[in-house]
Amino acid sequence: MTLQLKVPNMACSACADTITKAVQTIDARATVQADTKTKIVLVETNAPETAIKNAIANAGYTIA
């Protein structure tokens, strides 16, 4: 499934890397595309949506 998440406090490529790593701790095969301009993170994963959102939140990012 593909999740489209709005992450308003993602500011730079380092933030995008941190979010990617957080998601991949839940699903190592997940693909993550983070756009720092639009603040949109696209996640292609088989993991539950709540697990992905929790991983991003635990990394210090809010999801709108």
Could you read off the pLDDT of 8-63 as tens digits, one per residue?
999 999 999 999 999 999 999 999 999 999 999 999 999 999 999 999 999 999 99
Residue 64 lies in a domain: no
pLDDT of residue 38: 97
Residue 16 lies in a domain: yes
Domain ranges, residue 38 = 2-58
Distance CA 7, CA 47 (A): 19
pLDDT of residue 21: 97
Residue 25 lies in a domain: yes
Q: Is 54 left (phi over 0), alpha (psi -120 to 50) or beta?
A: alpha
Residue 30 lies in a domain: yes
Strands 31-35 and 2-6: unpaired
φ/ψ (deg, to 5) at 32: -125, 130
pLDDT of residue 52: 98
How many domains, the chain? 1
Residue 63 lies in a domain: no
Tell me the H-state helices in 1-64: 13-26, 49-58
pLDDT of residue 24: 97
Residue 37 lies in a domain: yes
CATH number at residue 46: 3.30.70.100
